[in-house]
Chains A and B, each alone.
Chain A
Amino acid sequence: MDQSALLAVLLTIVTASTPLLLAALGELVTERAGVLNLGVEGMMVMGAVAGFAAALTTGSPHLGILAAAAAGALLAVPFGVLTLNLVANQVATGLALTLLGLGLSGLIGERFVGQPGVRLQKLQIPGLTDIPFVGPLLFGQDILVYLSIVLAVVVSWVVFRSRTGLILRAVGDNHASAHALGYSVIRVRWAAVLFGGALSGLGGGYLSLAYTPQWIENMTAGRGWIALALVVFSSWLPSRLVIGAYLFGAVTILGFFVQGLGVGVPAQLLSSLPYIVTIAALVVISTRRGRARADTPACLGQPFVPDR
């Protein structure tokens, strides 16, 4: 493989990994607060349509990014009301969120099908980006790629090194004690749910603004679910999440690369690769059962009713 081909593959891996990393980071924070939101797919797809629509109507991909995050957070609101205020079942409510997001985005996006979108440009830093091979890879990505990495570092620092993170983990690991210490479990969880929604929306927005700048119905194609699996795979550690997301992106893209070499494999088999890899990863990580269980936030999925 010559250098330019290798560069092209590496660049594609970055764009394939970034939406997963963004959405999974949001869900990681949500789950650290003890809330399991299975609506990632729905919030992502709403982010995708909102980002696309806002960028198209205003002409600014940056407003598109904001709209995508806002749409994801907005869709997380009914989830918060139901699971946090009305103590509804988190699994069922998350599923409802996904179904609603897929339907609503289809309805909103109908008029945008087939329209060319606005692409989020990659950075061009004079001098640096021109360095052969390394330049485009390190200094020539779009801002969301950098944002996703920065966010991973920030989330890691906040969760493990700050007071806020201590409260977040206390709420997720033992909500009764956190409540007894005077922290408002519901408020912390609300903040985590909204943050998760905004990042899922961003991840979806990345798909319709940078990955493939267009709107296609159900364009997330299960990435929200893969992001959920990545959180489990990462043992709720942001650093491992970055590795997981990029490994995952690499495996997916290498499948297509192999196809490009003319190996006679059905296209459907390659398309199913991400889902099969996800299952394999879940199996591998779950086999080390004792460890996986110890890492899981202890109150994950459990509703909390303050007794005053």
Chain B
Amino acid sequence: MTAPQHGATPPTGRRRLTTQLAGALLCLALAACGGGGGGGGGGAATTTATPTQADAVGAAAPVVSIGATPTATTSGQVVTLSWSVSNAPATGCTASGAWSGAVAASGTRTVTAGAAGTANYTLTCGGASGTAAVVVSTPPPSPTTSLTLAPANITTAQTTVLSWSSANATGCVASGAWSGAQPTAGAVTVTPAGAGNFTYSLTCSGDGGSASASAALSVTAALSNSTTISVDSGPAGVGGVINVPYVNVTVCRPGTATCQTVDHVLLDTGSYGLRLLASALDTSLALPAVPTPSGADAAECGKFISGYTWGAVRRADVKMADEVAAGIPLQVVGDGGASYAATPASCSSAGNNLGTLAALGAKGILGVGLFQHDCGDACARTAIAGTYYACAGGACTASAMPLASQVSNPVASFAVNNNGVLVSLPAVGTAGLTAVSGTLIFGVNTQANNAITGETVFKTDAGGDFSTTYKGRTYASSFIDSGSNGYFFTDTSIRTCSGGDFFCPAATLALSATNTAADGSASGTVDFNVVNLVQLASTVRAAQVGGTLTGTAGGNSDHFDWGLPFFYGRRVFVVMEGHTVNGKTGPLWAY
């Protein structure tokens, strides 16, 4: 604030000097303005007022110099005004135009650029005025961006989709768990490399600046949902088996670490629930008995075409892969408990006792078919002889059994992957194989490894059957059964082996049948081979064999039994009752 003092009462004789001072000030102002004003605008504008005639006559005329930095900007941005006045009048200076009020004779001020247009910052000092013009334009809009992960919590066996979008941006750059230039919108499937927490960030930029977003992904170690299926020669003590798929099953006393892994349990898509031979279980397991509604010890009769399994209903934690069915009822076949000592006649009426290693050819049966319970509502409603029994004092009588106490498919009780299974076995040529290894995968369409892709869905009826048309006849109660060790169907033109069960055609037969869903919603042809059983090498344990359902004069059958050979070279999905996949609700098969 020195300049006004120079011009407060300028003596006439000093006009030249004053004029020189004004010039010097102008130069100073120019220098100051030229050196400053960094920022977005276009340099500085300075105007200098020319003294009017009146000024020349009276007191020394004021000289106004005002500049703005920058001279081009956008609304809302800061503009710095700098001005100086020589010979400032006593009345001071007044701002007008885009600014207002009284201002000192020299100084700087920051102002905010207003609406688009030309903003004139005028300073009037007595008869002199100066104006700094600033061109104000509408600012470019600010970019926005968003980034989402769906889902945000996965396991290492799952994938998630990272999707993003932005507005007012011309490009994006990824950082954090991903990198590189990205389009302004898009989506990528993220396959986790491992467990951990990951942050995906994205910065999108445009004329109006930049915006960032981030999303967090939690990846936990995947629990295994698959276990090995072995088609082999069976457990020690069993001979001559063919086409029997075995798995390992671990059972534990509920809630404890007292466990046992049982090998060579028959994988059976034709039954429901776990049955283990008592002779294969350590007595130290001491699985607790399941009571009937009356409080007696519950026992069960498992009926199969070839015979029955009789034994206690007990409870266990059933584990396969990393899946656990906590505290579910299972059947302990041939249980040594005194309550179960006598096999009821209504159980043994199913035929022969399968409750031995030799008869069963396995240490147990894992029923992972289309239903959760082996009997279901009928047995919950009323006592049905030949199913559940209440046993006390060595005598057993038929008893109703609530669903929660019925022997049940362990898959249904898993915490996850509990809607069915996928059975995957490699192809077996006409010469057969001595051993086959495949995979039992839990869950359908729940993880990357159990997704139905090209397979067709075949709904079944309430009993788990669909229809098969073979050589012009339709068999309305046909089924897929890993527990059947061949294709079993009616064809009296095929020679049977001595003994009668299996086919022994002179040469391998290439056959074909058509399966149709029970609701008619899908249909498809199945080509299959039937080889001569007795011409196979004696060591063969997996082969495309078949057999007769009815013999040469056995009358009608409604069945076509797609046994284990059907599984060779296929992925066969079992979707349990009440679960929906691909828009269809089980019970259903997909293959």
Partners in one complex: no
User: Which residues of A pack against B, CB within 8 Å?
Assistant: none
